[in-house]
């Protein structure tokens, strides 16, 4: 299943190289948000471990939102990696690079995007066996120029910039060939979610997909 998941992720990113972040403390809200994103053309979501109900939100999307690939974000420890995988998530995202967490996911052939922002961290990820990493916080870590510099040295590595990515700069990040996808929370604004305005989220997703297609025709 993990190998199929990696292939499925590749297919999804070819169509829409964007990973929206979902932060929710209610499973029902999480499911509505994921379905609203899916209606706009985004089938891969990252549910972040930043609320007490995050695990339940992940599991609810896995069970109730057909056709969506669900990942877990803000995974800090091996224990958390074990917990999220037990809920059915299909990939793991961390804000930083911790060898034990990376090895845990690699041993299970689970796609894992560890956070990196320096050449040393990217090299350590490469040595561990990772070939795709998160670039975080993308804007503060040097943005597109830093990504280009890292890409010129680590030619086999691919990156998922997250942190400071928005509709305004999405195209610039996607223009870097080594960028496999961009992660971002601009697609799930808290105000719209709290107001139950899921149509606004679908609209943002549609706009992001259009930007991505223009950047990568």
Measure the CA–CA gap between 37 and 44, rounded to whole angstroms.
9
Beta bridge partners of 15: none
Convert 2-31 to b/e letters by CB count within 10 Å (16 or more is b).
eeebbebbeebbeebbbbbbbbbeebebbb
Spatial contact of 187 and 18, defined as CB atoms under 8 Å apart: yes
Of these residues, 23, 35, 46, 59, which one is catalytic?
46
Residue 60 falls in which region: left (phi positive, over 0), alpha (psi -120 to 50) or beta: alpha
Helix (H, G, I), strand (E, B) or coil at 78: helix
Compute how many other C-beta atoms are within 10 angstroms of the C-beta atom of residue 99. Answer: 12
Of these residues, 134, 139, 190, 194, which one is catalytic?
134
Spatial contact of 19 and 92, defined as CB atoms under 8 Å apart: no
134 catalytic per annotation: yes
Q: Is 145 exposed, middle or buried (0-12, 13-18, 19+ CB in 10 A)?
A: exposed
46 catalytic per annotation: yes
Give catalytic residue positions: 46, 134
């Amino acid at each position: 299943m993990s190998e199929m998941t990696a292939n499925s992720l590749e297919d999804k990113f070819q169509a829409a190289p964007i990973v929206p972040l979902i932060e929710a403390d209610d499973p029902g809200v999480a499911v509505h948000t994921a379905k609203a994103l899916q209606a706009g053309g985004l089938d891969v979501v990252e549910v972040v471990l930043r609320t007490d109900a995050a695990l339940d939100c992940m599991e609810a999307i896995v069970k109730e939102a057909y056709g969506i690939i669900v990942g877990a974000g803000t995974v800090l420890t091996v224990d958390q990696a074990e917990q999220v995988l037990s809920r059915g998530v299909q990939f793991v995202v961390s804000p930083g690079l911790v060898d034990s967490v990376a090895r845990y996911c690699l041993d299970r052939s689970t796609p894992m995007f560890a956070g990196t922002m320096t050449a040393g961290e990217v090299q350590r990820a490469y040595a561990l066996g990772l070939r795709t990493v998160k670039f975080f916080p993308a804007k503060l870590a040097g943005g597109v120029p830093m990504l280009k510099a890292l890409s010129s040295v680590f030619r086999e590595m691919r990156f998922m910039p997250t942190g400071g990515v928005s509709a305004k700069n999405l195209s610039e990040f996607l223009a870097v060939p080594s960028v496999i996808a961009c992660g971002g929370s601009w697609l799930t604004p808290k105000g719209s979610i709290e107001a139950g305005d899921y149509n606004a989220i679908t609209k943002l997703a549609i706009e992001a997909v259009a930007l991505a297609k223009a950047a990568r025709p």
